[in-house]
């Protein structure tokens, strides 16, 4: 994908005036046994934000996204969605930042915070249409006719109207990822999370997925994108986070972080990606 195809970079936050954060994260921590991955993330996501998240492998980028839609439950910290804290203080815990969660509440959160994965996660026994319909039928409880109409509309939005009856085995990687995006869009999420959506694709298929993401940015959707496509991140994002060792090491506008980073670790990371033209 050429930089001419990507949206122009924004110099700061979107024009939301005095808008309150759609999502607020304070002190987010995540540990697996004795290994701590996230060490205290603070983040405000405003309506219409397009946030690119960069960092080396193992820095905690994907874990952060999975905690934001509670596929992984945070070890500590608070996530608020539209001003309401998710979960409640865990009774009997000495650490006031630890919380307990109700699965029914987390199911509702996952409908509002959509996720697009690296490996597509499509059901192989369902057509593209069936994959997009599944959440509408089983989670939203929609009738089949209504779910079918909505799913067809979302497949058309990502350029796959003609692949509705195709099974995943007959689709290219880029087409599978676009089906996954259509599936997420069908649930009307308030926030979309993309976890390295092009990392599993052959190079010639990357552009078709990035063009869909660009079109969603042009609609004003609120999105967080973990990516190694630094050139696209520069043009896509209004804010860039560089994560290292489980903390936000540097953040700012694309110009600040990608063209003029101030932290040595950020500069070293960007230098390793100089093959990207931005």
Instruction: Using the predicted structure, report yes or no on whether residue 275 has a pLDDT greater than 60.
Output: no
Distance between CA atoms of 44 and 239, rounded to whole angstroms?
A: 11
Distances (CA, A) of 139 to 84, 147, 194, 272: 22, 11, 21, 43
Of 14-28, 128-142, 205-219, least confident by mean pLDDT is 14-28
**56 pLDDT more than 60:** yes
pLDDT bin (cut points 50, 70, 90) of residue 93 is low
Question: Does the pLDDT of residue 13 top 70, yes or no?
Answer: no
Q: Which helix (H) or strand (E) holds 66?
A: helix 61-68
Diameter of the chain by CA atoms? 56
Spell out the SS3 assignment of 3-42: HHHCCCCCCCCCCCCCCCCCEEEEEEEEEECCEEEEEEEE
Percent of the chain with pLDDT over 70: 90
**b/e per residue, 184-206, with b = 16+ CB within 10 A?**
bbbbebbbbbbbbbbeebeeebb
The structural domains of the chain, with segments of one domain joined by +, span: 22-271
Per residue in 40-51, pLDDT (tens digit) is: 999 999 999 999
Looking at every residue in the chain, the average pLDDT score rounds to: 90
Q: Give domain 22-271's CATH architecture.
A: 3-Layer(aba) Sandwich (3.40)
pLDDT for position 94? 59
* pLDDT-above-90 percentage for the chain: 81
Q: How far apart are CA 181 and CA 40, in angstroms?
A: 29
Mean pLDDT of 233-259: 96
* Tens-digit pLDDT profile for residues 181-213: 999 999 999 999 999 999 989 988 999 999 999
Give mean pLDDT, residues 142-164. 97
Write down the pLDDT at residue 98.
82
Q: How many CB atoms lie within 10 A of CB 223?
A: 24
Q: What is the pLDDT of residue 5?
A: 44
Mean pLDDT lowest for which of 21-30, 123-132, 196-205?
Answer: 196-205
Question: Residue 16: what pLDDT?
Answer: 44
**Closest Cα partner for 48 from 86, 10, 3?**
10
Tell me what pLDDT residue 217 has: 94
pLDDT band at 9 (very low <50, low <70, confident <90, very high): very low
Indicate if the pLDDT at residue 23 is higher than 50: yes
Radius of gyration of the chain (CA): 19
Q: How far is CA 266 from the centre of its chain?
A: 21
């Amino acid at each position: 994908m050429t930089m001419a195809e990507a949206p122009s970079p924004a110099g700061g936050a979107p024009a939301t005036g005095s808008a309150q954060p759609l999502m607020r994260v304070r002190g987010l921590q995540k540990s697996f046994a004795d290994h701590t991955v996230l060490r205290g993330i603070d983040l405000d996501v405003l309506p219409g934000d397009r946030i690119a998240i960069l960092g080396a492998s193992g820095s905690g980028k994907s874990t952060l996204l999975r905690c934001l839609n509670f596929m992984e439950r945070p070890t500590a910290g608070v996530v608020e969605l539209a001003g309401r804290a998710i979960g409640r203080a865990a009774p009997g815990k000495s650490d006031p930042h630890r919380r307990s969660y109700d699965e029914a509440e987390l199911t509702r959160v996952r409908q509002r915070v959509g996720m697009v994965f690296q490996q597509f996660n499509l059901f192989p026994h369902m057509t593209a249409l069936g994959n997009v319909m599944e959440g509408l039928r089983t989670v939203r409880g929609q009738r089949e006719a209504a779910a079918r109409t909505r799913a067809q509309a979302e497949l058309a939005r990502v350029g796959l109207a003609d692949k509705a009856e195709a099974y995943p085995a007959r689709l290219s990687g880029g087409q599978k990822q676009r089906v996954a995006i259509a599936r997420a869009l069908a649930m009307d999420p308030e926030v979309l999370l993309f976890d390295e959506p092009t990392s599993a694709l052959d190079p010639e298929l990357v552009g078709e997925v990035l063009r869909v993401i660009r079109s969603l940015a042009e609609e004003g959707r609120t999105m967080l994108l973990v990516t190694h496509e630094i050139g696209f991140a520069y043009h896509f994002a209004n804010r860039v986070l560089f994560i290292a060792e489980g903390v936000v090491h540097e953040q700012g506008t694309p110009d600040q972080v990608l063209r003029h980073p101030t932290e040595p670790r950020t500069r070293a990371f960007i230098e390793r990606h100089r093959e990207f033209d931005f």
